[in-house]
């Protein structure tokens, strides 16, 4: 493979890793948004029942839990963050499609243009969670049947903690 083709492939690999990364971030934020809404609705109902059934302590506790989850969702704004990452998936996917369309005939100028587009997108990204990024890297190595060894990640960083 020519050096330009190797560079293009490495760039394509990075773009695909970014798509996986942002897709996982979307799922993470959507999960917490839905969890907060579900728990808020559940405890709001409990608060209402508790107040109506003359159990003020139950009503007060359930109301406090509702407020807690609603404030967390309001402050973190899970839905907005999911949409933000969705935009990155869309932009990286468009770049991937253009790179695939160029195919084997990719010139050095094409490579520079693709690289510039990737850097423009990355300049707008929020800080990357390294453990999650490495998970996506390792996952892509397996998906594409690479001989390269996966990067070791501590067990506690392979869980949901990778998002934090």
- C-alpha angle 119-123-128 in degrees, rounded to nearest 5: 105
Per-residue pLDDT, 89: 96
Other CB atoms within 10 Å distance of the CB of residue 61: 15
Residue 149 carries which DSSP code? P
Other CB atoms within 10 Å distance of the CB of residue 112: 12
For the chain, which residues make up each domain, given as ranges?
3-126
Quote the radius of gyration of the chain (alpha carbons, Å): 22
Per-residue pLDDT, 53: 67
Question: What are the average pLDDT values for consecutive 10-residue runs of the chain, which has 164 residues?
Answer: 74 95 93 83 69 66 77 84 94 96 84 95 93 93 91 81 76
Q: Are 129 and 158 in contact (CB under 8 A)?
A: no
Other CB atoms within 10 Å distance of the CB of residue 91: 20
Per-residue pLDDT, 98: 94
pTM value?
0.77
CB neighbours of 125 closer than 8 A, spacing ≥ 6?
88
């Amino acid at each position: 493979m020519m050096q330009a083709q190797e560079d293009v492939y490495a760039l394509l690999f990075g773009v695909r890793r970014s798509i996986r990364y942002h897709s996982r971030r979307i799922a993470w934020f959507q999960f917490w948004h839905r969890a907060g809404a579900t728990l808020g609705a559940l405890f709001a109902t409990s608060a209402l029942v508790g107040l109506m059934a003359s159990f003020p302590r139950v009503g007060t506790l359930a109301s406090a839990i509702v407020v807690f989850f609603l404030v967390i969702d309001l402050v973190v704004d899970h839905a907005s963050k999911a949409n933000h990452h969705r935009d990155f998936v869309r932009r990286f996917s468009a770049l991937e499609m253009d790179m695939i369309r160029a195919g084997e005939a990719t010139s050095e100028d094409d490579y520079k243009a693709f690289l510039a587009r990737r850097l423009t997108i990355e300049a707008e990204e929020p800080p990357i969670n390294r453990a999650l990024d490495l998970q996506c890297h390792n996952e892509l190595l397996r998906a594409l049947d690479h001989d390269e060894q996966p990067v070791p990640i501590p067990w506690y960083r392979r869980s949901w903690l990778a998002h934090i």
